[in-house]
Each structure stands twice: as C-alpha cells, then as structure tokens.
Amino acid sequence: GISWILISLRAVIVLSYGIYHAVMELWQDSTLPLILKYGTLALIIGTVILLVSVVREKLLLRKHDRYKEIER
C-alpha cells in the first residue's frame, strides 16, 4: 500500500543523499588518481542508466501484458 511507497521513497532519498556526499568527498580528494575518479563516475552513471532502462521497460510492458486479467 501507501506505506511501502513512502518507505521506498524515503530509502531512495536517503541513499541518494549518501551517495551524493560520498561522490563529492571522493571527487574533491586531491590524492586520488584521476582514473579512479572517472571510473567511479562512469560506474554511477552506468548504474543509473541501467535502473532507468529497467523501470521504463517494466512500465511499457505493463500496459501490454496479455495475462493481466489472469489470477494467480
């Protein structure tokens, strides 16, 4: 129900906040090699693209599900 949506939304917000600050801390560290900074950035961007792609596909397939009316 609505409580799971709110819990999930809160978890996404808290995790996003934590990841943002971790990346900013990592990016501002001058002792870290540049390749590691760009690698971390590429990993985060790739993960976001993958998650958006999966959510988009699930939403599009939900509209055209032939077995929507079938009860389990």
Does the global pTM surpass 0.75?
no
> Please, which residues have CB within 8 angstroms of residue 19's CB and are 6 or more apart in sequence?
44
Q: Please, which pLDDT band fits residue 8 given cuts at 50, 70 and 90? A: very high
Average pLDDT of the chain, as a whole number: 88
Of 41 and 67, the one with more pLDDT: 41
Question: Domain map of the chain by residue range?
Answer: 1-30, 33-72
59 Cβ partners below 8 Å, 6+ apart? none
Pick the closest to residue 41 from 24, 56, 57, 65 (CA basis): 24
User: How large a percentage of the chain has pLDDT more than 70?
Assistant: 99
Mean pLDDT of 48-72: 83
Task: Express each pLDDT in 12-29 by its tens digit.
Answer: 999 999 989 988 998 898
Closest CA to 29 of 13, 40, 18: 40
